[in-house]
Chain A
Amino acid sequence: MNQHDDGQNNPTHIDTLYAADPIAADRQLWGRETSALSRRGFLKKSGLVAMSTAIGAAIPFARFMPSGLIPAAFAAEGSSTRIEGKEGLIVLNERPLNAETPAHLLDDSVTPSKYMFVRNNGVPPEAIDVDNWTLEIAGESCVNPLSFSIAELKQRFEEVTLQLQLECGGNGRSEFVPATSGNQWTTGAIGCPTFTGVRLRDVLNYCGVGADAEYVGYYGADTHLSGDPGREPISRGVPIAKALERESLIAWKMNGEDLPLQNGYPLRLVCAGWPASVSGKWLKKLVVRNQVHDGEKMAAPSYSVPKQPVAPGSRVPNEDMKVIESMPVKSLITFPKSGITHDLRERLIVRGHAWAGDDQVSGVYLSIDFGATWLPTGVNSPANRLAWQDFSGWIQFPQPGYYEIWARAMDMQGRSQPLVIPGWNPRGYLNNTAHRIAVQVV
C-alpha cells in the first residue's frame, strides 16, 4: 500500500479507507469478514452482492480473495498492493516484496505481526508442507550432521519465547545524499515482536560444534528473482559467537502464532540486534563453517560499510569494506503521529521505542528546539536482552508555533544518535540519525 497520507487525498476514495484499516474497510464496504482459519476474507452473501453490483460483474472466486485486499478493479494506479496478514504497510517494492511500517503503527510495546515489516530478497516458497519441513544442520565444522522436522525441534529442545528487535541494515537509506542503491527505506524497517522457538545453540551443540567453527550460515526455501534454480537469493549468517548467544533462536512463532508467510513461515532464524538479513527466513539448512560464510550477499558491498569513514559519493573498493555486525543505537517516536496540531494549553505525551543493536539503551532525550536543549524521558528496561525499550515523556510548549520533536537515544557506552545524517557509505546502511516529528501548536 503506497497510500499513507490519509486525509490528503479524496476522503471518500476507497484507498483511503483501506489505508486506514483494510480489515475494517472490508467490513464496512463489503461485509467481508476475515477468517482466522483460512486467513482469507470471505464475503457474506450481502457483501458479495454489494461488491458484484459495484463492479458490474459476478465474482465467482470471491472465497479466494485475501482479506484487506482492494479488488484491482477499484484500485487507483500504483496503490493496490495488498499483503496477506499485513495492514497499513507502505510497499516500496512488489517484486521482491519490501514493505515498511509507518512510525505511528509501531506504537505497541510488542509489534503486532500485521505491522512487522517485510524485506524479501527473492520469492517466498509456495505450497509449504509444514509437517514435512526439514531443517538440515551441516557444514565443515558440524560434528554430526543431522536433519530435524519442526516436530522434532519442538520435542527435543527447550522452547523459548523472547521479544527480539529486527531492523533492516538499510533502514533510513532514503536520507543519504548522494542517493545509494536499494530499497529507499524511511524509518519503518524495524519491529520487535516475540518469537518462539528453540535456541540455535542447543541445536548446534546437539549436532556438535567443531573447535574450528567460525561462522553459521543459513539457506532458505525462497527462490531467486531471475527464476534460476541454481541461484540463492540470499544466504547470510553470523559468527559462531553470535550464533551461540542465548537469544539466537530458530523460531516458528511470532507473537504466539505461526510466523507470517512473508516473515519466514514456517521456520526462521532470529539473531537480533544485527542487520535483519542475518536472520534467515523459510529456513531449510544451517551450515557450521570453518571460515566466514561465503553465501549470497555475504561479500562486500552487500551489508558492508567502509572500514574507514569516506567522503559522500566515494567509490570504495570491496577490499576496503567490512561486513556490518551490531546495529547502532536508534529510537523512533511512535506517538503522536507526525503532522498533528496541538493545543498550547495541553501537555503533549510523546512516546516510542529505542534499541541499540547488541547493546542496551541508557537513556532517550527529546528536544523541541532543534537540539539546543534536551529533556530526559522515562525508559523501560527491555523485556529481555535484545528487545527494544519503550520510552515516554511529555512536553509543555512555551508558545504557539511550528515545532519539531527530536528523539535521541544513548547506549550503555555513551554512544548517541547523530542529529544530521551519519557517515555516508556506498550502500546506504546504518542511518541512525535522530527521528523527528512535526507539530503545530495553536
Chain B
Amino acid sequence: MKEIHVSQITETVARLCQDATRNLPEDVVAALRRAESTEESPLARQVLLEILDNAELARQEMLPLCQDTGTAVVFAEVGQDVHIVGGDFVNAVNAGVAKGYTEGYLRKSMVDKPFSTRTNTQDNTPAVVHTEIVPGDRLKLAVMPKGGGCENMSRFVMLLPGAGKEVITSFVLRAVDESGGNPCPPIIVGVGIGGTAEYSMTLAKKALTRRVGDPNPDPETAQFEAELLEKVNALGLGPQAVGGRNTALAVHIETYPTHITALPVAVNLQCHSARFKSAEL
C-alpha cells in the first residue's frame, strides 16, 4: 500500500491550476497552427493569428490565456492500492484550487447560492471533482479550467433508441450552429453517447480530455468523429464565428452501453483555449 500525503495533492493541484491557465497544451497549439494554415477567410486567419500570439504571450509573461480562468474541473484516477493520509481528499483538492487561484492571480468565478444571492466564494472553490478508482498504486490528477462561455452551450437529449447516427448528427450540428461565437470557436466538440442521462454528460466532458484530434480507439466511433468534424466545419461559422472553414479543431466521441429503451446524447463544447494539465503521484 503506497501512502500519499494530502499536502502533495494540494501542491500538485495548485501547480496544475496555474500551469493550465497559462500554458496552452502543445497539441492544441499545433491544431491551431494547422487551422491557420488551411483557413480561407483572411479575417478568420487574422483571428487565429491573434489566438496564437496570445498563447505565446501568456507563456512568456505568465499571464492567464483568458480572463475566464473557469470552474476548476478536476479528474482524479486513484489507484486502489493508494492510501491517502493526513486529511480528507476532496478538502486537499479544494485547498489546491484556492492556493493556485489566489497565488496565481487567477479570476475567482465561483458563486454559492446559485439561484439566489450568488455570493462569490472568493477562492474559486469548490472544484468539480470526478474520481475514479483504478488498478495500481498511482494517483493521477488532471485539471481542466472550464470557461463559462463554452460550458453554457452544453446540450443533452434522450433520443429514441433507434434514432441512429443521422439524428445524433443533426443534434450535434444544431448545438454548434446555434451557439455561434459564444463558445469561442474554433472549438473541440465533446460528445457522450450512451449510459444514463448524467453519465452521457460526464462522457462528453471526458471526451475533451483526449489529446486534440486523437481518434477514438474504436474504428466505427472514429469514423463517426471524422464525419461529424467535416460536417461541423461545413457549417461555415469559422473562428469566433466571423465566417470560415475552421469551426472545430476536433470532434471527440465517448460511448458507453445503454438501456434497451434509451439513447442519451450529450454535447459539451471546449473553447480554443482548451486548457488541461495532468500529473501523476
The answer to whether A and B interact is no
B-contacting residues of A (Cβ < 8 Å)?
A: none
A-contacting residues of B (Cβ < 8 Å)?
A: none
